[in-house]
Amino acid sequence: MPTLTPPPAIDRELFDPDGFTRALSASDSKSRLDLFKQAITQASRVLNSRYNNECDIAALVCGRAWFIDQILVHAWHLFIRPDDRNISLVAVGGYGRGELHPHSDIDILILPRSSRTGKYKQAISDFLTFLWDISLEIGQSVRTPKQCRDEAKRDITVATALMESRLLTGPADLFDEMERLTRAPAIWPIKKFFKAKWDEQI
């Protein structure tokens, strides 16, 4: 497998974060949907053109993930305040590795600090509905760090997905706690992990 080449810090041809933020701040709820859809259409056009021009595949895979990062974070902040210290948005699985192929699921973890998520229930629902409305294929879960640990102990697929996670937005200490609790040797000793992955592949 080729060594993945991270995209530039800002690939303005693919997505202009500053311009998008300005347009978003001047938009209403109806035009916001159009802005996100237009950004997705434009990014797809750019990535398809680069592919047809035989650009580096690893860069395209990373570039697509970088673009989706931008879209998700902007969408998240429509519903969750950027300074909220009790909930994070996390990329997991292949997307968590910073790789995203065309038509691949975009797997995310919504990570609240407490299982008492009543205050976030509507915001989370609205966020996920918004992603559906802009035609993103999302796989999602909502779990606290301790719930992540419990699920990872029960399911090797969950454990693997969490090993390949990265923080998109939200408090880093919350993400760090989840990583600490789900660290592989603590819940899946090496031999047991290898056997479970072998069985999973079979």
Bridge partners (DSSP) listed for residue 30: none
What's the rounded Cα separation, in Å, for the pair 54 and 105? 24
pLDDT for 171: 97
pLDDT for 183: 83
What's the rounded Cα separation, in Å, for the pair 10 and 119? 34
CA distances, 159 to each of 99, 143, 146, 147 (Å): 18, 13, 13, 12
pLDDT for 30: 82
Residue 76 contacts residue 168 (beta carbons within 8 Å)? yes
pLDDT for 2: 35
pLDDT for 188: 61
Selection from 6, 7, 38 nearest residue 20 by Cα: 38
Q: Within 13 Å and on the Cβ side, how many CA atoms surround 176? A: 3
Q: What is the pTM of this model?
A: 0.88
Going from the first residue of the chain to its last (202 residues), give the mean pLDDT of each consecutive group of 10, the final group possibly shorter.
52 95 91 96 97 94 96 97 97 94 94 92 97 95 95 87 94 96 72 63 72
